[in-house]
Amino acid sequence: MIKVAFIGNCQVDVYRRLINAHESNLDVFSIEVWRLRPSDFELASNKLLDCDLIVTQPLSLYYGPLALENLRGTHKNVLTIHNIYFKGYHPDCEYIGPMGKRIKSPIGDYHSKVTHQAFKKGLSLDKAIDEILNFSTDRVRSIFDESADELRRREIGIDVPVTNLVLSECGWSYFFTFNHPTLELHSRYLEAIVKALGLKLSFNTISDPLLDHTHFPIYPSVVEALGLPLNAKEDITFTSPKSIGGHIYDLASFCSACYASYAIILA
């Protein structure tokens, strides 16, 4: 058996699940660093001692022995992959607060920047809704181009590129949020990872592990600005994770729920 470790955020566990759903000569496990405290890093790194291959996102020195720089000093076979995030299709989607201290919205960790700023400015609920409906196409294009440039910059030094998939004509369909790719993108990227490892492996279909998490919509202005093959007049809906109810909000109810939430949290 070939022992392989995947290290990074929640995305690496999807790769583990995809590989383990298929019978192979690989013994695959994942280390999701967002679940760890700094005091856990050393213990987690001990699991890598007998690994044949390590596939990792480029973690900073904050992660101690799990940091890319340190892994390269202690292990021979280290392959770097992307932490995939891209704001180009969801330019209004964002976190509020640092990791570990995220402010929650009605759809979990993710917020509409427009709605949050409108509340902080004391604007009416109708104004927040109107600003989303009229999100600037110029701003969409600017954020898309900046995100594409950032993705290419982050790809320098990464062993397995992903930019061509993210910016493909189907790229818009590959994300639930800016950093939660769908199973389709994960599967396509994993094919490239496995090829880079020099392995031959096919994948069985599994249920998408991130399907039950937040779904952020693609705004009509994004459809217009990027020329996407979608009906720009489709209803804008936001879906919360199933862990907090899996509620589907239309635009008005989402903004209203956000305002009610911010009134309590930001009071």
Domain regions of the chain by residue span = 2-85+142-196, 93-137+213-265
Closest CA to 90 of 225, 257, 229: 225
Residue 202: pLDDT above 80? Answer: no
For residue 119, the surrounding DSSP H or E stretch is: helix 113-120
Give the mean pLDDT of the chain.
94
DSSP helix/strand/coil, 190: helix
pLDDT at 106 over 80: yes
**For domain 2-85+142-196, which CATH number applies: 3.40.50.1110, 3.30.70.890, 1.10.3720.10, 3.10.180.10?**
3.40.50.1110
Give the model's pLDDT for residue 57: 97
Of the pLDDT bands very low, low, confident and very high (cuts 50, 70, 90), residue 101 is: confident
Q: Between the CA of residue 233 and those of 11, 119, 134, 173, 251, what are the distances in Å? A: 32, 26, 12, 17, 13
pTM: 0.92
